[in-house]
Amino acid sequence: MFTGIVEELGKIKNIVHGRSSIKLNISCKKVLTDSKIGDSISVNGICLTVTQMGSDWFTADVMPETLRKTSLRDLDNSSSVNLERALRLSDRLGGHLVSGHIDGIGTITEKIEEDNALWYSIEADRDILKYVVMKGSVAIDGTSLTVAYIDESKFKVSLIPHTTSITTLGLKRAGDIVNIECDLIAKYIEKLFSGNNVDKKPEDKKSLSIEFLMENGFA
């Protein structure tokens, strides 16, 4: 579990390509403090396991499914990446709860400066947008941000200079692909209220409707 508060910008040192997978070697420093082999580190919002490490680098394996569903497939040896160590229970939760399990990718369609803010418009599939809530939280490449606008095809976020300076988001341009993780609370609520629970028989499952709410005293 992570918070979406990026700790460090890492640099891709080397990428070893398998048949349909890759092994990343990432140069960094801060996130290695107190880290050990087997620990989780968020790389551009994706939870990866440390398989090898040195004083200023670590290695992580990326399986084919992760490459298919995320922007890690676009990395090269010159890429910078957002890094965050897994959350400890004693840490401050400065962002929001982020699992490191990406819901999908989006495309930056517009980048606009407004005084000290940088606005991004991000186009995404409806399966992602249904979990994006106005003034709610969303993780973009592992960075916790607040949704400032949403419609049927896109949402917008506004970044302060600090965020653009310490994350890869300041380097993004229109047309770039980003990893999106929606607020996981919304997904759990949908699962519970849809009645789509595996321990129920099909005839016992009920979907959320006005009739269901009235039947149970909520409307």
The confidence score (pLDDT) of residue 188 equals 83
pLDDT at residue 82 in the model: 98
What are the structural domains, with CATH classification, of the chain? 8-85 (2.40.30.20), 104-187 (2.40.30.20)
- Parallel, antiparallel, or unpaired: how do β-strands 143-150 and 137-140 relate? antiparallel
**Six token digits for residue 2:** 């992570």
Contact 120, 148 (CB under 8 A): no
**Which of 170, 27, 70, 54 lies closest to 111 in space, CA to CA?**
170
What is the H or E stretch that residue 58 is in? strand 57-62
With the C-alpha atoms ordered 31, 32, 34, 39, is the resulting torsion angle positive or negative?
positive
Cα–Cα distance for residue pair 14/60, rounded to 1 Å: 11
Whether pTM > 0.95 for this model: the answer is no
User: For residues 24 and 91, what is the distance between their CA atoms, to the nearest angstrom?
Assistant: 28
Tens-binned pLDDT, residue by residue, of the chain (219 aa): 999 999 999 999 999 999 999 999 999 999 999 999 999 999 999 999 999 999 999 999 999 999 999 999 999 998 999 999 999 888 888 889 899 999 999 999 999 999 999 999 999 999 999 999 999 999 999 999 999 999 999 999 999 999 999 999 999 999 999 999 998 888 888 887 776 555 555 555 555 566 766 777 765
Amino acid at residue number 189: I
Distance CA 41, CA 26 (A): 11
In the prediction, which pLDDT does 122 show?
A: 98
* Residue 202, pLDDT score: 53
The span from the CA of 214 to the CA of 49, in Å, is 47
